[in-house]
Amino acid sequence: MAQAIVLGSGTSNGVPMLGVEYPPEYLANPKNHRTRSSILIEGPTGNLLVDCSPEMRLQMSRERIYDVEAVLITHTHADHVMGMDDLRSICMKTRQAVPVYTLPIYQEDIRRIYSYAFRDFPEGVFVPRFDLRDVPVDLEVGGLRIRTFLVEHGGTTVIGLRVGGFAYITDVSRIPDEAMRELDDLDVLMIDAVRIRPHPNHFNLEQAIAISKQIGARKTYLTHLSHDYDHDETNAQLPYSFELAWDGLKIQIEAEAAYL
């Protein structure tokens, strides 16, 4: 068996957002509290962390996840990489650099943002260490074969992934034909639906529902969610087989569907 764990389901500001006063009844629902978007794919022999949100340390601690075999960075916007410094404790535990798979252009960003991770320091000074690697089409981590593909997020290229019948697409405004061909016969699709009204760089609710219906996913979870969405009220209005994701959601992936 394998599973996908939603570490965070929120948009780049998180929910509740700084500077906004929310009704007490909205805040009373824990599923309206959304940390920045990230998932972990838990395989039979290890874990793949997908993105490193600013709350990564808290997300991993909440889910009692203590090991990371490798990281996949979908793109280098702040809400997806600003937790990478906390990987230093994984490096201290394993005494190795963490393998980080991403596109070459994003490797350059990581080297710029975390330049100290690639410098030498005196003994006793601990910094994160990243083994930057080009992301392959077929990535093998944790005893799983993970298929990767590219989508568009405004003018930014974002890596999507598929494990068996599960696919994850964060931050997307267009899915090219080549990527659509990777999404046939899905059991579960998790996809960006940042807000209700249109957004130039993300699918909104209407667009996410439409593309999922086009794909034909049997179940769809919407993620990268803003405070537009009151969890229970929105779910009550969504079409059959659609649901908002939430922090801590776990999705089982059958072993045979995950190419074990």
Q: From 7, 249, 255, select the one nearest 145 (Cα to Cα).
A: 255
Give, for all 260 residues of the chain, the pLDDT tens digit. 799 999 999 999 999 999 999 999 999 999 999 999 999 999 999 999 999 999 999 999 999 999 999 999 999 999 999 999 999 999 999 999 999 999 999 999 999 999 999 999 998 899 999 999 999 999 999 999 999 999 999 999 999 999 999 999 999 999 999 999 999 999 999 999 999 999 999 999 999 999 999 999 999 999 999 999 999 999 999 999 999 999 999 999 974 434 43
Beta bridge partners of 251: 4
Show the domain range for 155.
2-258
Q: How many independent structural domains does the chain possess?
A: 1
Look at residue 259 in the predicted model and tell me its pLDDT. 42
Is the CB of residue 45 less than 8 Å from the CB of residue 259? no
- As a whole number of angstroms, the distance between CA 141 and CA 46 comes to 7
CATH code at 87?
A: 3.60.15.10
Look at residue 38 in the predicted model and tell me its pLDDT. 98
Burial degree of 109 (CB within 10 A; 0-12, 13-18, 19+):
middle
Look at residue 254 in the predicted model and tell me its pLDDT. 74
Look at residue 258 in the predicted model and tell me its pLDDT. 40
Q: From 62, 64, 63, 56, select the one nearest 14 (Cα to Cα).
A: 56
For 8, the 3-state DSSP assignment is strand
Q: What is the β-pairing status of strands 98-102 and 144-153? A: unpaired
- As a whole number of angstroms, the distance between CA 193 and CA 223 comes to 6
Look at residue 257 in the predicted model and tell me its pLDDT. 38
- As a whole number of angstroms, the distance between CA 49 and CA 171 comes to 17
- As a whole number of angstroms, the distance between CA 53 and CA 57 comes to 9
